[in-house]
A and B are shown apart, each in its own frame.
Chain A
């Protein structure tokens, strides 16, 4: 039966040595926080790597002491769940550039003694995957049973499959795209402009000046949040419901959707770093595996050995099913082992976070076959 993993704690590790980034810069020693659930078997063949998306972190499942809210993928990770922690050893790191304990813009740059802030180099999906491979070495995992994630997390799983073909048995690429569309980038740019133009942004040095671009980050999140929901989900959840009985002819939050978005923006802006948000949107924009192969995705996938499962959701318009099919069709053409599932779900892009029955069955069949 499905149950919660219970109380969890984060762990910290230092990846020693020089770490070269795709942009040409490098780090010395990288601190990464991560969580694990379940038990690694003796021959280390039951490990699953979970990659988080734009606003995610290492807290994927279970609850912290004294906290009510479980991890972001608690619906799918736990005993008897889609990612069954009775069978699998699950690892979820906070990626470099994050703001929840791993090396990121809100870390101190030991060379200068100041926060990295805007000087933090632009990271790529490839850099993340390379850092995750180093983490695998430290954990004694030569080959992952599976690497999986939703959205930007799915892009990391995809990158794993062709970058480290021998180190991954399966890849779960969920609600992802082979690259961002102009519309995707446009939404990211609006989010960035909201942050960059907040007077408290201070050119990214807000931490040094004891300020915080809360309004900018809030706005960025509000725009982002709209793209995570489907029109259908918004209509059924909020419709044109008013907070009060009648219109008050003003600019306060009158409709429920306004108040919901403001609330989401507020909560998010209090727990996330603005520089990290900027960085994450850039990582998304830059992801384009075909770009090194004259735009040919099929060629980018040549080295893949893993079995892949691509999953999309019917009402996702941020990374619509058509975008997943681009990945699938290139994999078919490259004669790779791929399965594709299109799940009927009303929750838009956020669908990947919900334990939809078909989705759960598909995932567990894939992980356990």
Chain B
């Protein structure tokens, strides 16, 4: 399964979904059309916002780093934060906010512990530039990269429960290797979490 199929598996039909850092609305568009979800996106990039509006999606122009206080506690069935936490100034606070706003949350992270990343750093002695992390260290939005272990530690530190997890290989699919030794062989990890 790919990420969107797993997300569908993890959430009920017709749930109310908030997608923080929704980009051009790819996920919420599918959830809205195929899963009957009532969706709202939050995005900071103007072009992406216009793409969402063009697709008829509800989207709020907002900088997550400036706070999410405008969303009340448990106001959404599901809060999604996909490939976003690593670009935020305060990932820990964001994680707490995500679980405050959503009854359940789905967070996806790029895994910095992936084996090619490790080898890249080990052999070249430079910050890895890979397919999933294509920019150089000074030019990247990814200011808070972590490994699968790091993320799971942060969850437990914050008292956040991991209900489900799923690991994907570089093709965005689940694989045996990624499942067995995720911190080495998964490029992306997805978690279903709650307080």
Contact = CB atoms under 8 A, between A and B. Distances in A.
A282 B106 CA distance: 49
Interface in B54-103: 54-62, 70-72, 75
B75 A365 contact: no
Interface string A302-335: 0000010100000000000000010011001101
Interface stretch (A23-31, A237-245, A271-279, A338-346): A338-346
B70 A340 contact: no
B58 A338 contact: yes
Contacts of A369: 53-56
A339 B72 contact: no
Interface in B21-46: 38, 40, 46
Interface residue range, chain B: 20 to 34
B52 interface: yes
B50 interface: yes
A307 B56 CA distance: 9
Contacts of A339: 49, 52-53, 57-60
A366 B53 contact: yes
A333 B58 CA distance: 13
A368 interface: yes
A337 interface: yes
Contacts of B49: 339, 341, 362
Contacts of B50: 358, 361-362, 365
Interface residue range, chain A: 20 to 34
A358 B60 contact: no
A333 to B, nearest CB: 7
Nearest to B75: A333
B54 A368 contact: yes
B60 A365 contact: no
Contacts of A366: 53
A335 B70 contact: no
Contacts of A309: 53
A49 B60 CA distance: 24
Candidate in B16, B50, B54, B75 with the most chain A CB atoms within 10 angstroms: B50
Nearest to A358: B46
Contacts of B59: 339-340
A341 B61 contact: yes
Candidate in B16, B51, B58, B61 with the most chain A CB atoms within 10 angstroms: B61
Interface string A350-368: 0000000010011001101
A332 B46 CA distance: 20
Contacts of A307: 56, 58
Contacts of B70: 325, 328-329, 332
B13 to A, nearest CB: 17
A368 B51 CA distance: 12
A332 B40 contact: yes
Nearest to B71: A332
A274 B23 CA distance: 49
Contacts of A361: 46, 50
Nearest to B51: A365
Nearest to A340: B60
Nearest to B52: A339
Contacts of A328: 60, 70
Contacts of A341: 46, 49, 53, 61
B9 to A, nearest CB: 25
Given A339-B58, A340-B60, A340-B61, A333 B53 contact: no
Contacts of B75: 332-333
Given A362-B49, A362-B50, A342 B61 contact: yes
A15 B113 CA distance: 72
Nearest to A359: B46
Contacts of A335: 16, 38
A135 B2 CA distance: 53
A341 B41 CA distance: 12
Nearest to A309: B53
8 contacts: A307-B56, A307-B58, A325-B70, A333-B75, A338-B58, A339-B53, A341-B53, A361-B46
Interface of A: 307, 309, 325, 328-329, 332-333, 335, 337-342, 358, 361-362, 365-366, 368-369
Interface of B: 16, 38, 40, 46, 49-62, 70-72, 75
| A-B residue pairs, 4 tightest by C-beta | A365-B54, A365-B53, A369-B56, A329-B70
Given A340-B62, A362-B46, A365-B54, 10 more contacts: A307-B56, A309-B53, A339-B58, A339-B59, A339-B60, A341-B53, A341-B61, A362-B53, A366-B53, A368-B54
